[in-house]
Each structure stands twice: as structure tokens, then as C-alpha cells.
Chain A
Amino acid sequence: MKILVAVKRVIDYNVRVRVRADGSGVETANVKFSMNPFDEIALEEAVRLKESGAATEVIAVSIGPVQAQETLRSALAMGADRAILIQTDEAVEPLAVAKLLAAVARRESVELAILGKQAIDDDANQTGQMLAALLDWPQGTFASKLSIENGHAIVTREIDGGLETIRLALPALITTDLRLNTPRYASLPNIMKAKKKPLEVLTQAELGVDITPRLVTLKVEEPPKRKAGVKVADAAQLFDKLKHEAKVI
């Protein structure tokens, strides 16, 4: 079984994101980029499935600028067997990403796709579900547990009320939640080895996919700031403020 894992290059989760003064977006110059954390979890899960013998090959796919090759090298260092970059400098929306990934999934005859549940930049939480739809595969989103048994994926999902378990006939799509696993750190020997693993570069035209955006971003702005509050000395003063000033208790 081949597994496709999508990895996105995003502004590192520790970076305090700043909105550009002209409202055109957020500041990306001189900012640290990393692999989307949910995609690291996806990759870890795929590598574990390969290590357990349930999968034969892990293919990491990214869509983005030439710098996304670094993200793919990280994926290879974590244990992906090979990588594909669909190179573009355009902003690619989730629907277009799903179309590109679907084209790769068909070309590579993968039986499982594991994606992060959302990217921490656009927070869209769409791509996995869209990919499942385009491939007509069943979907197990927000997974906190995954096992492969007799041609099925058994998925425990984090839902608003607790946990839910579903059984999907393969081929299937999984999106990862935070508690699926703890991604490994790539070892130095594996980082060295990753440099020699195959990394193929494609264009959307070669895959025959139209990535024209459907949404126009008119402006990006900072959210309203909260005004600074006050310090209270102890529980008694807090109680008094909540009761008589804020009047919320």
C-alpha cells in the first residue's frame, strides 16, 4: 500500500504573525517557515504504518514555491521515501490543492492519503475532505487513532462531543488531529540520507489542473485589540471586581 502525505510550508507556529501595513496580507519577509504541524503528524503516522509493514511506500507531496523543497527534504528526513513538489508561486486555494493532490493520487495509485486537518496559516480545514470527495473515497477526519485491518481503516475521530470511531473501506482519506502521535525529530544521518532521496518537480499544467483562485482577498487587517486590564492582588479583590465592576457574577 502506497501512502500520500501532503505537507505545506507555513509560517512557523511560534512566529507572531504581523499584518502588512498596506493590508495586502501578512509579513512573510525574514520570517521563519516550517512544515505545518498537522502535516508532521500526518507524515509520522504514514512512516509508522510503513515501519509496521502496513504500507510499502510513503510519498510526500507539497505545493508551493521553490522553497517548499526544504519542507519536502524535512519530510524525507523524517522517513518519506520520495517527494513531489508541484511548484508554483501562486497562492493555491484548498479546492485547487485538492485537485492537484487528486491528480497525484491517481497517477501514483495510492491507497491511503493522510493530510493535516488544517494548515495553521489559512485555517481553512477543507483540503482533506475535498480530496476525499474528488477521489470518491471515504473520509476519516480529525483522527486521534488509526489502524489498518483487512483492507479497512479504523479511525477514532475527535469530535465536539468526545470521540467517534468509524470504519472505512480502503482506499481512504485521513486527516490528523493533535493527539494522533508525537512526530519524531529527524536524526542527522537521516537528514544526510534525505538529500539523496528522489524529489520530483512538477507543474500544475503537467497535471492538467486549473488552479485559478475563486476567492479574491480584498484586504487583511489586524483584529481589534483588547484594552489592557488591571491587576488584582488576590481572590477577594478579584471577586469584588467581578461582582461590582464587571457585574458578571
Chain B
Amino acid sequence: MAVLVLAEHDNSVLAAATRNTVTAAAQLATGPVHVLVAGQAASAVAAEAARLSGVEKILLADDAAYAYGLAEPLAALLISLAENYDAILAPATTFGKNVLPRAAALLDVAQISDVTAILSPDTFVRPIYAGNALATVQSTDKRKVITVRTTAFAPAADGGAAIIESLSAAIPVPRSQFVGREVTRSERPDLTAARVVVSGGRGLGSKENFLLMEKLADTLGAAIGASRAAVDAGYAPNDAQVGQTGKIVAPDLYIAVGISGAIQHLAGMKDSKVIVAINKDEEAPIFQLADYSLVGDLFVELPKLCALLSGAQG
């Protein structure tokens, strides 16, 4: 079984999610694993992908049409390559979720979304109902099209030496056009790959108070997440949202501050190794799955915790 992985990148760096997807591909594959790097001036990404352990070949499609990762040209490219592969995988990130179903439909394949375990070449586990149930599904399609929940697979390490093969130019897709991007700049670790995540909720009360989360994150070298309520209220940017329809995280340590713990939020963080919840409402559902529950006023406890943490490092 030959597997193709669609790489996620920004034309200069390979996104961490690609590494987890390659691990899933290696579990599934009985034949070669290839990685498709489609971008513009993305040879550095191809070189990075070529070092991934377990990858045999990088397909580099370098063309202006692929510069911004738009779904239309990427899906067209994927279907032009599909006949060589038994499975096509992408990370279940906003990038993979946007592109892969389009390719699946063109291939007349039922995509299997957000796979958390591969049981056999045609049988997979995926969460449904915000992770309140796990479905084991068997695909009857000849070709498998799969998005991978990255937190369920370890990142592939370096150590490979894949060959890089260049593909011919793209067919332009003029009906979809990139206008611009407002990327949230942050020196912090990537939310989905961070070892420690601190998340704030509505309990913080204002955008100004949400800065307390910055202080906490600083002391831990953590990424900052947020509940939907905090994002809707404008305390935090949309890309910080953790939950069923936002980002899925599974860090070593997750600290939820002022988050009550709606089902939809828990879906995004309940696989974290250690969960801490700080909330003044002792009935908050988040306490039902927290390893350490601190019932108290976050405006009192959070500064104290920050002081202890910075003392510990100093």
C-alpha cells in the first residue's frame, strides 16, 4: 500500500502537523510513503520533508498557483497523482480540512475525518459527537482519503534521506484568488504542538485581564489557548480557540483558567496528560476531568502561581 501525504507549510517551513501525519502514513503503509510539497519557492520545505524518517520520496510542485495553499489547485493536483497511491493523508488542520474533502469528492471517495487510530488498512477510529463517542469505521472505497488528528500520532523524527522529484507546472485556477492574510504573530510555541498550554475563559472578564494569561504563559514557556466564550467576547484571537470546532490540543500540562468546561471545549483538550483547572465555581464541569482542581478567585490565585513559577525558574 503506497501512501501520499499532503504537506502543510508556509513555503519556508514545514508545519509540525505534517510530521504527525507522516507517522500515521507509516503505520498505514505497506509500500512507500511519499510527501507532496506544493507551494511557491518551497524547495526549503521539500528539503526539510526529505529528512523525515520513513519517507521515500518528496514530490515538489513549485508554482505560483500553490503559493497560498488554496483548495482548488491543490485538489486538482492531488487527483492527478492519486492513481499511484492507495491512500492520501493530510493533517486535520484548517489546511487539510479545507483541501482534502474536495479531492475526495473528485475521486468519489468517502473521506475519513480526524482519524485517531489505524486498526488495519481499511479500519479506523475517529471521534464523533465532540469526542463523546469513538466510532470504528471500515472503508469500502478502493482508495482511502484520510485526515489525521495530529495529537493521536507522534511526530516523525528526522533521519531520512528521501529523493526530491519535481512535478510539472500547475493548471491555473482563476476563479479563486488569494487576497491577504492576517497572521497572528507570536513568539510562543505553536498551540497544537506546545508541551504546556494555558487557556483562558470568560471568567477573565475582559481583554485587559486576559493579559494575565500572557504572564502565566511567560513563566511556563506555554502556548495560549482560549475557550469559545473568550474568543467570541474578543479577549483572544480566533486561532486560539480550543475545542470541538477549534484546535485540538494534548499537551503534557493544560491549565484552564476561568473556563467552565462546556462539552465543546472539553473535546479539544481532554487528552492532555495533566489538566489543571482554576475556577471560582466549584460546580464547573471542567473540575470533573481536571487532575488538579483549584476552586478560588483566579485574580488572587493566578498572580500567586505566576510568582511561584518565576521563582522556581529564577
Residue tally, chain B, CB below 8 Å to A: 92
Q: How far is the CB of A165 from chain B (nearest CB, A)?
A: 4
Inter-subunit contact A232/B294 (CB<8 Å): yes
- B264 / chain A contacts, CB cutoff of 8 Å: 13, 120
Q: How far is the CB of A138 from chain B (nearest CB, A)?
A: 4
Expressed in whole angstroms, the Cα–Cα distance for A133 and B72 within the complex equals: 8
Interface string of B51-77 (1 = CB under 8 A from A): 000000000000000001011100100
Q: How far is the CB of A220 from chain B (nearest CB, A)?
A: 5
Interface string of B84-109 (1 = CB under 8 A from A): 00000000011101111111111011
Of A121, A142, A154, A215, which one neighbours B94 at CB under 8 angstroms? A142
Inter-subunit contact A160/B239 (CB<8 Å): yes
Does residue B283 face the partner (Cβ distance < 8 Å to A)?
no
Inter-subunit contact A166/B133 (CB<8 Å): no
- B130 / chain A contacts, CB cutoff of 8 Å: 17, 120, 123
Expressed in whole angstroms, the Cα–Cα distance for A249 and B288 within the complex equals: 23
Inter-subunit contact B183/A161 (CB<8 Å): yes
- A215 / chain B contacts, CB cutoff of 8 Å: 110, 112, 137-140
Interface residues of A in 123-161 (CB under 8 A from B): 123-134, 137-139, 141-142, 144, 154, 157-161
Does residue B177 face the partner (Cβ distance < 8 Å to A)?
yes
Inter-subunit contact A239/B293 (CB<8 Å): no
Does residue B32 face the partner (Cβ distance < 8 Å to A)?
no
Interface residues of A in 221-243 (CB under 8 A from B): 221-223, 226, 228-236, 238-239, 241-243
Inter-subunit contact A238/B180 (CB<8 Å): no
Inter-subunit contact A220/B135 (CB<8 Å): yes
Inter-subunit contact B253/A179 (CB<8 Å): no
Inter-subunit contact A219/B70 (CB<8 Å): no
Interface residues of B in 251-277 (CB under 8 A from A): 252-253, 263-264, 270, 273-276
Binding site secondary structure of chain A = mixed
Q: How far is the CB of B135 from chain A (nearest CB, A)?
A: 5
Inter-subunit contact B245/A214 (CB<8 Å): no
Interface residues of B in 223-256 (CB under 8 A from A): 228, 231-232, 237-239, 244-245, 247, 252-253
Q: If the complex has contacts A94-B101, A130-B105, are A17 and B129 also in contact, measured as CB distance less than 8 A?
A: yes
Does residue B165 face the partner (Cβ distance < 8 Å to A)?
no
Q: If the complex has contacts A230-B293, A248-B196, A248-B273, are A118 and B184 also in contact, measured as CB distance less than 8 A?
A: no
- Selecting from B23-31, B38-46, B205-213, B303-311, the interface stretch reads B303-311
Does residue B154 face the partner (Cβ distance < 8 Å to A)?
no
Most buried by B among A118, A158, A161: A161
Q: How large is the interface on A (under 10, 10 to 19, 20 to 34, 35 or more residues)?
A: 35 or more
Inter-subunit contact B181/A246 (CB<8 Å): no
- A213 / chain B contacts, CB cutoff of 8 Å: 110
Inter-subunit contact A178/B228 (CB<8 Å): yes
Q: How far is the CB of A11 from chain B (nearest CB, A)?
A: 7
Interface residues of B in 125-153 (CB under 8 A from A): 127-141
With both beta carbons as reference points, the residue of chain A lying nearest to B91 in the complex is identified as A160
Q: If the complex has contacts A129-B101, A138-B175, A179-B238, are A11 and B129 also in contact, measured as CB distance less than 8 A?
A: yes
Inter-subunit contact B179/A238 (CB<8 Å): no
With both beta carbons as reference points, the residue of chain B lying nearest to A164 in the complex is identified as B181
The 9 closest A-B pairs by CB, nearest first: A130-B105, A214-B110, A129-B101, A235-B304, A138-B176, A133-B105, A126-B101, A229-B291, A165-B179
6 contacts between A and B (CB under 8 A): A130-B105, A133-B75, A139-B176, A159-B95, A165-B181, A214-B140
Known: A17-B132, A215-B140, A249-B220. 15 other contacts (CB 8 A): A17-B133, A19-B133, A26-B128, A95-B111, A123-B129, A137-B175, A141-B97, A214-B109, A215-B112, A220-B135, A221-B134, A234-B294, A234-B304, A235-B302, A242-B253
